[in-house]
Amino acid sequence: MHYRTLGRTDIQVSLICLGTMTWGSQNSEAQAHEQLDYAIAQGVNFIDTAEAYPVTPVSRETQGKTEEYIGSWLARRGKRDDIILATKIAGPSRDPVREFRGGNNRLDRRNIELAIDDSLTRLRTDYIDLYQVHWPDRIVPSFGARGLSQISDTAETVPIEETLDALAGLVKAGKIRHAGVSNETPWGVSEYLRLAREKGLPRIASIQNAYSLLNRMFETGLSEFALREGVSLLAYSPLAGGNLSGKYLGGVVPAGSRRDVARQFVRYDLPGQALASARYVAIAHAHGLDPAQLALAYVNSRAFVTSTIIGATSLDQLKADIASIDIQLPETVLAAIEAVHRDIPDPCP
């Protein structure tokens, strides 16, 4: 396993991070524990979850189950000091199924303080290493949207300063070590950094955004923050919802797959996706590589990526994904990848 520094902290995280958003729906508690045991044995020390998980599919009945499964594993194994644990607070949502705390889940002090205590209880720990804002309080282009045509803030929109000040209180209380953001924009990252600099508030350590061969939009604007300002990219959806594995080519939808059970994930059902995926899969096959491992190895190789978040519903998938750490893509493969990107740039933002 390889390790990189999380932001400007003193924390070393594994280049492969174990994602967990299927635990509690597609994966049982026993399977979750099996994945944790295997990943830790392979040197993975970074675990990412969220109060909203599982989301395959989103359900009120399963909300919080993922954190509970991690908590029961920690209670049985006693390995809290061996892992870097990250979780997230949900932002506001117009979807009733995603509501928390009575449906008023803004990113204000009240919600942040309630959310962290609930997560700590489910996770059976007294601190979180990295506490992330899952998505902004304001409306931004995220989860597949492109661009921002107008500002849609309302009187209820919580200012970033209030959110960051509340996170500062959690740091002071010892409930979290560091703060991070997710699904953020260049302006949002800049604002968090400005407030930390000018107000003496905690400096965000990371940004968790989508990044894959089908979505390299992080490279425009945000990658410079990662490289110059030390705001680590924790790359989620590196297989673009499984499309880069090739399993959905030709319109095939395997029973029990994410596309089968979580039909709300439509961000990859866009023109150009199928053709781009097919060409990336063909590159892998032409060079004797597993398509999923090629896609992961590409993300792993980027200088602005600190950790690649993988998710698996089977142990075989997990083993193959973690093994991507040992793959170095030759220049011929990288050149072929760039050729596809020039032809079909970012079909799935």
Contact 120, 175 (CB under 8 A): yes
Backbone dihedral region for residue 237 (phi beyond 0: left; psi -120 to 50: alpha; all else: beta):
left
Q: What does pTM read for this prediction?
A: 0.94
Q: What is the spatial distance between Cα 96 and Cα 115, in angstroms, rounded to a whole number? A: 17
DSSP 116-145: HHHHHHHHT-S-EEEEEESS-SS--S-TT-
53 is catalytic: yes
Fold of the domain spanning 3-343? TIM Barrel (3.20.20)
Q: How many CB atoms lie within 10 A of CB 129?
A: 21
Domain ranges of the chain: 3-343
Strands 12-14 and 206-208: unpaired
Give the H/E segment covering residue 178: strand 176-182
Give me the residue label for tokens 């990250």. Answer: 86
Contact 202, 168 (CB under 8 A): yes
Q: How many CB atoms lie within 10 A of CB 93?
A: 16
Contact 308, 336 (CB under 8 A): no
User: Is the C-alpha dihedral spanning 202, 68, 117, 93 positive or negative?
Assistant: positive
- Residue 9 CA, chain-centre distance (Å), reads 19
Contact 162, 108 (CB under 8 A): yes
Selecting among 3, 38, 53, 127, the annotated active-site residue is 53
Residue 348, CA distances (Å) to 114, 214, 234 in order: 35, 6, 18
pLDDT, tens digit only, all 349 positions of the chain = 999 999 999 999 999 999 999 999 999 999 999 999 999 999 999 999 999 999 988 888 899 999 999 999 999 999 999 999 999 999 998 677 778 888 788 999 999 999 999 999 999 999 999 999 999 999 888 887 788 888 988 889 999 999 999 999 999 999 999 999 999 999 999 999 999 999 999 999 999 999 999 999 999 999 999 999 999 999 999 999 999 998 888 877 777 777 667 666 678 888 899 999 999 999 999 999 999 999 999 999 999 999 999 999 999 999 999 999 999 999 999 999 999 999 999 999 8
**Contact partners, residue 233, CB within 8 Å, separation at least 6:** 206, 207, 208, 209, 211, 218, 222, 223, 226, 302, 304, 305, 306
- Write out the two tokens for 67: 């954190």
